[in-house]
Amino acid sequence: MTFLGMPLLRSTHHDDHEIPGGQGNIIEDESFAKVSHRHLSNQQLRDNIGHATASIRDKRAEVVAELDDWEALREAGSRAKNHVMENLPEYLAQFEEKFTAAGGIIHWARDADEANAIVTELVEANAPVLDSGRREVIKVKSMATEEIGLNEHLETQDIDAFETDLAELIVQLGDDKPSHILVPAIHRNRDEIRDIFMDKMPDADELTNEPAVLAEAARRYLRSKFLTTKVAISGANFGIADTGTLGVVESEGNGRMCLTLPETLITVMGIEKLLPSFDDLEVFLQLLPRSSTGERMNPYTSFWTGKTPGDGPQNVHLVILDNGRTRALADEHGRTALNCIRCSACMNVCPVYERTGGHAYGSTYPGPIGAILSPLMTGVKTEENGSLPYASSLCGACYDVCPVKINIPEILVHLRNEDVEANHSPVSSQLDTALTGASWMMSEGKRMAAAESGLPLAHKATGGNPINSLPGIAGAWTSSRDIPGLPEKSFRALWSEDEARTQDEARAEEEDDET
């Protein structure tokens, strides 16, 4: 089977397959190292994120500890997602058949540009032009639409997209970017949110920083939009292949409003979101809420299958998005990154994310999962794109908490190797030369001994002091750490001397015994 005219499962190296057009908000403009240094100096941001992630970590740990079979659930989730990736063409075909039979219309998009064009055309066909000369849509929180830069694109087409999730609304009104998958405004505190609302919301002149007051202000601001807007746009947490069903889980009820009140519903979903059947939800509806919000279940879990006469939207569309996912799928070492269910647990335990925040990653997907998912989808074609795999200490905490057992540290190392080969060829050449020389020298004892014979001279030249500067690729090591001073003698030489001394002592003892 082919997907959009391209083999869905490729056997050739994925760098040979460039994704046409633009990919939206998953390509970096600057390297992680440069951007992170700027954010590290923002103490308020670090305090906000540190407080929030610690709170979510504690809640998650508490509800996970309640389940004796948590590790079995993780294994089941991992197996289910791996199975889908291994059989994705068949499940996509099955889902398309069922979704269409239920009255829905499917559109296939190779990249962000195609997806944005499709959504724009659908909005223009179904949303009326207001007195302002513009159209309006309401939105459910969606990583896929953030990924393709949909809001920004619609703005250029005289279409205003209103985010209805509270955190997304804060980000939007603050002319900001999300900093977290689950809690986009995690980098903002109550006072900052109050100031944003008072500045941008009509009739919100006097607000306190109490959460209930801020939530009520958002509710008043959005109520008329829910009741009058004709078109809604959503993402999808799950697509059920054997029924053509889509599902969204959320905590505020705004999603339920968007999914039921408008006349037209447009969903954007990545190809990896499929599950074989409703039975699989038994696992994922336990894994996701505990790993994301630290709750036992989601307050609002909504499913819809096509359209139902007289009930809910009667014009139901689904844009199925590639945007680099088939590229990631072709990477046998990294394809498990597509198993991600967007819970954000990895971010809440990552010491790097906690100190830099999400904006430093330059992508819709921050934190450990973003450090592997974005490069897998875009390729490490430039030094900026290849910098994300280094945004990690490789401590492994992300793997320990991942509900579908994505081995993020292992994929990070794999991508670092790809980056070296693609963007640092002089370094790679120097390293290859050094390793080839070391292999030749160490493969025979005489060669090794000859090389070690120069140690006394090297020790004398350096005075036995630590070495803090080396040329070439070794300079990257000595730029931040010293190499201990060179010994006067090698271990082999010391061993030989010790052996000789032992033998001399043994002979002397024998001579003493004879006398």
User: pLDDT digit string (tens) for 211-229?
Assistant: 999 999 999 999 999 999 9
Instruction: Encode pLDDT of 67-88 as tens digits.
Output: 999 999 999 999 999 999 999 9
Segment 487-503 mean pLDDT: 87
Instruction: Encode pLDDT of 270-306 as tens digits.
Output: 999 999 999 999 999 999 999 999 999 999 999 999 9
- Please tell me the predicted confidence (pLDDT) of residue 460: 81
- Give 206's DSSP letter: S
Alpha-carbon distance of 373 to 166, in angstroms, equals 26
- Please tell me the predicted confidence (pLDDT) of residue 383: 65
Q: Where are the domains of the chain?
A: 2-336, 426-514
- Please tell me the predicted confidence (pLDDT) of residue 16: 39
Contacts of 485 (CB under 8 A, 6+ apart): 459, 462, 463, 464, 465, 466, 467
- Please tell me the predicted confidence (pLDDT) of residue 79: 98
Residue that wins the pLDDT comparison between 115 and 363:
115
Instruction: Encode pLDDT of 379-398 as tens digits.
Output: 887 667 788 999 999 999 99
pLDDT confidence tier of residue 255, bands split at 50, 70 and 90: very high
Alpha-carbon distance of 115 to 112, in angstroms, equals 5
Most confident of 19-23, 322-326, 425-429, 431-435: 322-326
- 427 pLDDT higher than 80: no
- Please tell me the predicted confidence (pLDDT) of residue 430: 66
Cα dist from 14 to 8, 10, 20, 150, 375, whole Å? 11, 7, 14, 27, 12
What's the topology of domain 2-336?
Answer: Rossmann fold (3.40.50)
Alpha-carbon distance of 185 to 296, in angstroms, equals 23
Contacts of 81 (CB under 8 A, 6+ apart): 336, 338, 339, 341, 404
Residue that wins the pLDDT comparison between 181 and 3:
181
- Please tell me the predicted confidence (pLDDT) of residue 10: 34
- Please tell me the predicted confidence (pLDDT) of residue 266: 98
pTM: 0.81
Provide, for the chain, the percentages of residues in helix, strand and coil under a 3-state DSSP scheme, each rounded to the nearest 5: 55, 10, 35
- Please tell me the predicted confidence (pLDDT) of residue 463: 81
The tokens for 147 are 């990924």
Alpha-carbon distance of 275 to 273, in angstroms, equals 7
pLDDT confidence tier of residue 3, bands split at 50, 70 and 90: very low
- 250 pLDDT higher than 80: yes
Average pLDDT over the chain reads: 89
- Residue 46's closest CA among 351, 256, 295? 351
Using CB atoms within 10 Å of the CB of residue 206, give its burial: 0 to 12 exposed, 13 to 18 middle, 19+ buried.
Answer: exposed
- 11 pLDDT higher than 50: no
- 317 pLDDT higher than 60: yes
Q: What are phi and psi of 354, to 5 degrees?
A: -60, -25
**Centroid of chain to Cα 39:** 19
Question: How many CA within 13 A on the CB side of residue 34?
Answer: 9
How many other CB atoms are found less than 10 A from the CB of residue 136?
20
- 466 pLDDT higher than 60: yes
Q: Which residues pair with 135 in a beta bridge?
A: 159
Q: Which residues pair with 2 in a beta bridge?
A: 7
How many residues does the structure list for the chain?
A: 515
Segment 221-244 mean pLDDT: 96
Where do we find the tokens 């633009």?
22
Instruction: Encode pLDDT of 179-209 as tens digits.
Output: 888 888 888 999 999 999 999 998 777 899 9
